[in-house]
Amino acid sequence: MLASRITSGRPWPIWFLLVFAALFLFGPKVTGDSLGLIEDTGTPTDSLKLDDSRLVVSSETDVVDPSGESASLYPMSPERKARLVSYARFKNIWRFVGFVISIGVLWLILVTGLAARMRDWARVAGRRFFVIWLFLGMFAVADYILSLPFNIYRGFVVESNYGFMNQTFLEWWGQGLLGLLITVVIGIIPIWFFYWLVRKFRRWWLVFSIGAIPFAVVIIVIVPVFVAPLFNKFEPLRDKQLETELLALASRAGIEGADVFQVDASRQSSKINAYVTGLFGSKRIVLYDTLIDNFTVEEIKFVMAHEMGHYTMHHIWWGLAVAIVFISFALWLVAMTIHPLINRFRERFRFDRLSDIASLPLVLIFLSVIMFLFQPATNAVSRLMERQADTYGMDMSGVSGETGAVVFDKLSVFNLSDPDPHPVIEFWFYSHPSLKKRMEFVRGYRPAR
């Protein structure tokens, strides 16, 4: 669901793939990391369980892990290194397990005839628009319920076991339900548009891709301003000296009129991130409170210069362009391949044409498989953008290569991010270069004269 990425540890809502299949690979997330600082930082529910004291950057930062043993968070202790390796192994396995589970849930909704029954029940709404909306609501709830045991395990149990949970179960669940509601409210727009086009146009896939552009732009504008504050508190940066330095950095980068916020990301997570997002009059520079608490001013300047690089190099627009091309291709592929399967299983599915709203789970299965198979291509584009932003960050911030390397090293330690993943994993799943490669790059980088 829309906010499941915000709150529950699940992937982005599969029905939103219709509009954001690739946009979410490149565009600003509701919770941050707008074309981001680090690959696979985890969701805001992924957090390091800390004691009541704030983390302070020093030669060592002590926390108490769930086992009750004192551990050095930075620099990395052997115990934390073992935990990082274990967590990375789990995440790599779950990349495939989670994909299979999501496909299995959709297939179950299809083959049991539940999708067709929900379509029949939704007809009580009368007009087609409201029928589709009611169906979407029932489908979202059904998918949520069927997936809930897996989401609890992945999003709450596992994260708690690794010390990554700053919420109670009820808080975690409550934010997941809020995300479900937001998905149903907003999701009607692309879903209704999709099925209206399928009925009206032979090349509906092309028209949908073009029509998705203004909707995606609106989402990029409104989500940081209206949706993100539903989950976290955004307030002006308390450290006014830091604010002055960041605004000066933004001015040199040509970002005028941006507001600087700090967000209480530690409410859900103590993982570290920051982002610059927004279009037109909604520009904002956002720092996680965990970043402020754990990084030096020079390190924060490099982080924010990296994020400003995404903004000044128009990566949001480039990402949107790539997204639209990918969505067009993916939907064309759906149009070319889905009908034989509908014809073969029409009695079991209880629908015989794509324009039937009950086909939504099947459409999402096709899109999910296409996205999975073509991740290497979309992620390659994203990694290129990240390298460009790293270069920009070094040039704009003026920090030393060692300072930049410490930033990435800290991200690995605090976020338990594997700095040196297997090449196949990085190639297939990573939207950012590995942290090891990024550390090597900034250490060896020499600004152009």
Q: pLDDT, tens digit, for every residue of 139-175?
A: 999 999 999 999 999 999 998 888 878 899 999 999 9
Q: Given this model, what pLDDT does residue 162 score?
A: 85
Distances (CA, A) of 219 to 4, 207, 215, 231, 353: 16, 19, 6, 17, 30
Both tokens of residue 9? Answer: 């540890």
Distance CA 156, CA 169 (A): 7
Angle (CA) 442-443-446 rounded to 5° is 75
Q: Given this model, what pLDDT does residue 2 score?
A: 29
Distance CA 290, CA 37 (A): 14
Q: Given this model, what pLDDT does residue 305 score?
A: 94
Distance CA 133, CA 360 (A): 12
Q: pLDDT, tens digit, for every residue of 355-399?
A: 999 999 999 999 999 999 999 999 999 999 999 999 999 999 999
Q: Given this model, what pLDDT does residue 198 score?
A: 97
Residues with pLDDT less than 70, the chain: 1-72, 281-282, 448-449
Q: Given this model, what pLDDT does residue 277 score?
A: 75
| 295: three-class secondary structure by DSSP | coil
Q: Given this model, what pLDDT does residue 299 score?
A: 94
Name residue 288's beta-bridge partners: 263
pTM above 0.95, yes or no: no
b/e sequence 173-184, b meaning 16+ C-beta within 10 Å = bebbebbbbbbb
- At position 349, the amino acid (one-letter code) is F
Cβ-proximal residues to 324 (8 Å cutoff; 6+ apart), any chain? 209, 210, 212, 213, 216
Domain ranges in the chain are 4-444
